[in-house]
Structure 1
């Protein structure tokens, strides 16, 4: 009886082996594709997987649960830090990352997936009722459409979300077909104040080997 059980198990393993081999190959192919992704492509993929989460604490408690925490988490890699070695007095995380990007000559005009995207005056950071807050928000570019509409992932007030930005028509919420070109990034006291992503846009930056601080 023991021999019969072993024989059945062996035959079962042989019958299942094509499926098991196919699953193994699929897993290996996925791992290979991930390994072939660039630093920025990997960051865009990571950020896209977090869309819908109410908090970054579901992913990690080692970063701030805010927009700068999301980009730092998306680009987490040994020897890479989006922040400069020292922050300036009164400087927030977004402004510090932008300052480092500028020092590395990493700022760019045309976006690519994985690029950082910066915005200004998205909220009243110093609570003085004036629009003098500078850089206040950041996200990760997920994709760029042929018409120039940029989809980016960011940590907003309601959690991790996707939003759109179109620099060709920065003040237009929707096009003639009703498709969203620019999402709202600020709750404004006045309808005449800039609120759309295109209106509050401040620049893109590419994260690559220049940001690495150690092998």
Structure 2
């Protein structure tokens, strides 16, 4: 049985415990227009919430850090939107959703510099990767308490460059943040799992 729009609406708007920030309204509207699977909406909301905490910490930790907060939040909120096109990747591995997501966003009028996150969130070693890309990628890992040292090292390098503090100091500060964020993973995973992977009925 296909879920109703009510389940998608709950994933987008209901306050879970512990609370998660809602997605940007434009993203929520797009997910509704696409009849996105409720579990995808719940996942995007969880990663977006973690990205908000990451970028807020980064701004407070390093006042001189040049980071586009809104780009990070939009990127986290849409990074897996290509799974509307490739729903099997909601419950199994695959990377087809990455380029499909970028194309889907551009087709719906999203600027390429924002749509890119759908394609770049798993490509943090590519040349030209930005701090915004790295933060979206980190949020997409740490929301479920997955630690990727190579990715984290890239973020630490950017922090060290921006602050001028010793690398070990930046490493310890960032590691403490990720430990704190990872502590909420079980709640986020349970929240995501409470929604179906099936798209709402038309």
- Higher helix proportion, which one? 2
- Higher strand proportion, which one? 1
TM-score, normalising length from structure 2? 0.27
TM-score, normalising length from structure 1? 0.26
